[in-house]
Structures are given as structure tokens and as C-alpha cells.
Structure 1
Amino acid sequence: MKSIFRIVSLLEGISYLLLLFIATPIKAFQGDETYVKMLGMPHGILFILYVILAFMLKKEMKWDHKNFGIILLCSLLPFGTFYMDKKYLR
């Protein structure tokens, strides 16, 4: 389960960065919503999987409320999932 969570968190982090730093500026400056539409749904699915898997791993990894909150917060911050992987999963 931990390895699946690591893969999902990596993909979620990459999709978030692509959406935030590539797709959104293209939409804002060129008015082209294609990339936002293309990346939005996969990112949303990966985000939901990230949260579900985090809840499933909470007991197995013995995360207290503070660490679990940080892990959930990392999914909202750019580069947060990469930090979370390094600090809490390796």
C-alpha cells in the first residue's frame, strides 16, 4: 500500500505542477483552456486517490494527528508531495 501511495503522490505532485505552472498560465495569457481541461480531471482523480490512500495508511504508518494534517496539507502545496515523500515515506 505504501508503494502505491508513493506512486500516486508523485503523479499527483507532477500533475499539480503541470496544471499550476503550465496549463493555467497558457489559459490566462493565451485564452486556451485545452491544457487545463486535459490535466484537470487526471489531477482531480489523483488528488482524491492521494487523500483516500493517506487515510488508509494513517494507522499502518502510525501517523499522529499533526503529521497526518501535514501529509494532507502537502497535497495542496506546490512541491508538497515531494517533501512528504522524502520526510514521511522513505
Structure 2
Amino acid sequence: MSQPLTAEDVKGIRGALLRYRVMAYVVGCLLVVLVVVGLPMKYFWHDDTVVRLTGVPHGWLYMVLLITAYDLGRRVRWSWGRLILIALAGTVPFLSFVAERSATRNVRATLAEAPPADGG
């Protein structure tokens, strides 16, 4: 990083990380249900109830995930390549969980290098 993180930066990064982690888990869970439960039900039993109930929310919430990933990546100064890989992870079942772990480790390492906050 070119400039050291301030206490305000650290606070913003922690909030962005929390938002990203929540969205990664929600989007990941919806995608797993969609692919593991919904698609077999639709194509084997001709019942698209689960697809209808999870497909559209997954799509909309994936857009929110993209926003939260961009916000976090901008705050910790990720490269565009890393940011794109993190964003694409929400399209592959179970991969959003792996990406969330990787992102969290990276952000926590970045925060560990930050100077301690002054008195507060």
C-alpha cells in the first residue's frame, strides 16, 4: 500500500468486509440451493418452484455482492484481477465461500499491518 491506513480507513474497511461477507454467504447459499435442489427438481420432476423462489433473488443479490466486493476492493486497494475473480466467485456453486475466506484472510492481513488506533 502506498499510504498507511488511518483509523478511519480501518473502520471503513471493517464495515465493508462485514457487508461483503454477509452478501457472499447469502448469494452462495442461494446459488447452492438453486443448483443442488432447484435445477434437479425442475428438470427431473418438472417442478420449478425452487428455481422461481431462489433464481431471481440470487440474481438481484449477486448485483449487491458485486457492489460490496467493489467497495471492499477499493478500500484495500485490490488489483482489478483479484477483484474480478472475487466477483465471479458468486456464479459458481460453493466458490463464493472459498472467495470469502480468501478475501477475509487478505483483508485481515492488511488490517494487521495498520498502525493501532489512537485511544479509541
TM-score (norm 2): 0.70
| Partner residue, 2:40 | 25
Pairwise CA RMSD of aligned residues?
1.1
CA distance in 1, matches of 2:80, 2:56: 29
Displacement over 6 Å in runs of 4+: none
Whichever of the two has the greater Rg, that structure is 2
Shift of 1:62: 1.5
Matches within 5 A, 1:5-20: 5-20=20-35
- C-alpha separation between the residues in 2 aligned to 1:80 and 1:38? 21
SS at match of 1:63: coil
Q: Give the share of equivalent positions with the same residue, in percent.
A: 27
Instruction: String of CA shifts for 1:9-40, please: whole Å, max 9, x gaps.
Output: 10100000000110010000011111111111
How far is 1:67 from its partner? 0.9
> Could you tell me which of 65, 81, 88 is aligned with 2:96?
81
- Do residues 56 (structure 1) and 71 (structure 2) align? yes
Deviation at 1:65, TM superposition (A): 1.6
Q: Which residue of 2 aligns with 1:47?
A: 62
Q: How many residues align?
A: 90
- One-letter amino acid of the structure 2 residue matched with residue 24 of structure 1: L
Cα distance in 2 for partners of 1:2, 1:87 equals 12
Shift of 1:75: 1.3
Any stretches of 5+ residues in structure 2 without a counterpart? 1-15, 106-120
In the aligned structure 1, how far is the partner of 2:21 from the partner of 2:37?
A: 24
Q: How far apart are the structure 2 equivalents of 1:69 and 1:43? A: 18
Residue 75 of structure 1 aligns to a residue whose secondary structure is helix
Shift of 1:73: 1.9
Q: Structure 1-normalised TM-score?
A: 0.91
Residue 71 in 1 paired to residue 86 in 2?
A: yes
Q: Distance in 2 between matches of 1:32 and 1:14?
A: 20
Matched to 1:62, the amino acid is R
